[in-house]
Structure 1
Amino acid sequence: MLVAIDIGNTNVVLGVFHAGSSDLRVKWRLQSNTQRTTDEYMALITSLLEHEGLCPDTVSGVVISSVVTPLTRVFRKLSQLLFTTEPVIVSAGIRTGMPIRMENPKEVGADRIVNAVAAYERHRQALIVVDFGTATTFDVVSADGCYLGGCIVPGIGISLDALVNRTDKLPPVEIVKPARVIGKNTVSSIQSGIYFGYVGLIEGIVRRIAKEMELTPLVVATGGLGSLFHQEEGLFHEYLHDLTLQGLKILYERNRHG
């Protein structure tokens, strides 16, 4: 089995693939906690594996993408101790099969490259990946498979938290698609502003990227709230919930032999 681990600022997502298969056997989402020790994560993951009838001894490979350096060290050690294998870690110098056309390729978050590789492997055409995470990121890939760069904007959760925490009378609200733009009370007004504000943001950025590229790229969504915005007709070509884990599997195969 292959264990793919995506370490983000908010969550650690683990996926288990059977050998030789692109089908995800099981997936877990844990809190990213830099105060939790390797032993604590080991105990938790061992319990999760046992609950699914899986044994750590059957894991033949581990691949890690991380934007949280302390947790990279924790999960590297976990891989060595629990799975007795040295993990493939997505970092500068790894074989991605995708040229990085950035001023400093080392600056690009590992998760962004993983998403771009997975989406391009799936479609083999110019595309934009919109990832709804702690930040909302736009990653652009050319028709010939080069990573061109992109945009980073505050995530929806961050924006909503800032609005609520910096005002005296605005309440926390659930992030949903409202029935109408014109809100009839405070809650629906906030929901409208958050949802349709981000729809407009996505449409505007995608339109400007397409103008710079002088073509119409495919637009793929991923990340937790991507499923909500995929409801908006014409906004995305598709929503791929497990895009990052699939990308990690691809990169593992490209780097497993050294």
Structure 2
Amino acid sequence: MLMTIDVGNTNIEIGIFKGDEFVGTWRMITSTRKTSDEYGVFIITLLQAKGINPKDVKDAIISSVVPNIMYSLVNGIKKYLYINPMLIEPGIKTGISIHTENPKEVGADRICDIVAGYFIYGGPAIVIDFGTATTYDYVDEKGVFSAAVTSPGIQISADALWSRAAQLPNIEIEKPDSILARNTVTSMQAGLVYGYIGQVEYIVKKIKEETGKHDAKVIATGGYAKIIFPETDVIDIVDSALSLKGIKIIYDKNKRVKN
């Protein structure tokens, strides 16, 4: 079995693959204060809770945008799973050509999303990740990643709204029944969700317009994709495990080289 780990600013997502079969996924909050023992014990406990023998996990690969936790996380895996994990970092083979002004500044999370979007669903494609930030990445039919858009995530927008306005409450992010809100909570929900739907539709439209690729598939992932997807016709596919699948594809490409 292979363990794939996606370290994001908010959550760490762990996936297990048995060959090409996606067995399952787990999440935990990203914390820079955990020790290697805490990470190791937590991962072992997660596996055992799902009936997976930790000894059956033969390798691991990590994508991370949080450098400060990597020492503890990597050493926890070494100590408890006896695995030296592969890291997704500059120079690793991805099968994607990055044609941006500074390829080294492209986050590993975006690369994994693009890899999965392109190799699973084909190009041209626009990959949207509704994470801490919402990212829109364009990859063409030849696997060239050349353009990206980054906006505040919907949770960041919500946090800014209630924290910067003394009389506004902290709310749950969900779509109200109508945009014609009649109280403070639903008015905030309407502004956030319907406003975000509008953002998604406009950015996708502009990317297609400026690339000339009006047939580009639009693939969404991330926690809030399930809220946005039913409300718009610009998203073609939602794949909640897109990042983990991209990490697996990168592992396979580099494992073949190593062997």
For the criterion TM > 0.5, the same-fold answer is yes
Specify the alignment match of 2:70 in structure 1: 72
Q: Helix, strand or coil: the match of 2:27?
A: strand
Question: By how many angstroms is 1:84 displaced?
Answer: 2.0
The CA distance in 2 between the partners of 1:225 and 1:219, in whole Å, is 15
Q: Secondary structure at the match of 1:215?
A: coil
Q: In structure 2, what is the Cα distance between the partners aligned to 1:147 and 1:76?
A: 29
* Structure 2 counterpart of 1:215: 213
CA distance in structure 2 between the partners assigned to 1:40 and 1:87 by the alignment? 17
Distance 2:229 2:42 in 1: 33
Q: 2:16 is matched by which residue type in structure 1?
A: V
**What is aligned with 2:5?**
5
Report Cα offsets for 1:93-136 as digits up to 9, x if no partner: 00000000111111001010000000111122211111011111
2:171 matched residue in structure 1? 173
**1:172 corresponds to which letter in structure 2?**
N
Alpha-carbon distance, 1:80 to partner? 2.1
Q: Which amino acid aligns with 2:162?
A: V
Q: Secondary structure at the match of 1:125?
A: coil
Counterpart amino acid of residue 218 in structure 1: K
How far apart, in 2, do the equivalents of 1:197 and 1:247 lie? Answer: 30
Corresponding position of 1:47? 45
Q: What's the CA shift for 1:189?
A: 0.8
Name the structure 2 match of 1:121: 119
Distance 1:25 1:100, change over 3 A: same
Contact 2:133/2:151 (CA < 8 Å) preserved in 1? yes
Ranges in structure 1 where 5+ consecutive residues have no aligned partner: none
- Taking the aligned partners of 1:213 and 1:72, their CA distance within structure 2 comes to 37
Shift of 1:166: 0.7
Question: How far apart, CA to CA, are the structure 2 residues paired with 1:181 and 1:4?
Answer: 40
Give the superposition deviation at 1:25.
1.3
* CA distance, structure 1, for counterparts of residue 185 and residue 234 of structure 2: 25
Residue correspondence of structure 1 range 153-168 to structure 2 within 5 A:
153-168=151-166
Q: Which residue of 1 aligns with 2:253?
A: 254
Corresponding residue of 1:81: 79
Secondary structure, in 3 states, of the residue corresponding to 1:231?
A: helix
Q: Distance in 1 between matches of 2:164 and 2:37?
A: 38
Query: What is the TM-score when the length of structure 2 is the normalising length?
Result: 0.95
Give the equivalent residue in structure 1 for 2:231: 232
Query: SS of the counterpart of 1:5?
Result: strand
Q: Which amino acid aligns with 1:199?
A: I
Aligned pairs for 1:58-207 (under 5 A) are 58-207=56-205
The alpha-carbon deviation at position 156 of structure 1 amounts to 0.7
Question: Bigger CA drift: 42-51 or 59-68?
Answer: 42-51
Any unmatched runs of 5+ in structure 2? none
What secondary structure sits across from 2:129 in the alignment?
Answer: strand
Give me the whole-angstrom Cα distance separating, in 1, the residues matched to 2:24 and 2:218.
27
> Is 2:4 the counterpart of 1:28?
no
Equivalent residue letter for 1:54: I
CA distance in 2, matches of 1:103, 1:87: 30
Instruction: Determine the C-alpha separation between the residues in 2 that align with 1:125 and 1:97.
Output: 13
- Preserved contact between residue 88 and residue 255 of structure 1 (Cα < 8 Å): no
- Using the alignment, how far apart are the partners of 2:44 and 2:194 within structure 1? 42
Structure 1 residue ranges, 4+ long, deviating more than 3 angstroms after superposition = none
1:173-217 Cα shifts (integer Å, max 9, x gaps): 221122222211111111110001111111111111111101212
| C-alpha distance in 2 between matches for 1:117 and 1:127 | 11
Q: Which amino acid aligns with 1:244?
A: S
Count how many residue pairs are aligned between Structure 1 and Structure 2: 256
Cα distance in 2 between the residues matched to 1:26 and 1:239: 17
Paired amino acid for 2:122: R
Q: Distance in 2 between matches of 1:124 and 1:10?
A: 29
The answer (yes or no) to whether the contact 2:41–2:80 under 8 Å persists in 1 is no
Q: Which amino acid aligns with 2:55?
A: D
Report the alpha carbon displacement of residue 150 of structure 1 after superposing the two structures with TM.
0.5
1:15 corresponds to: 15
Alignment identity in percent?
40
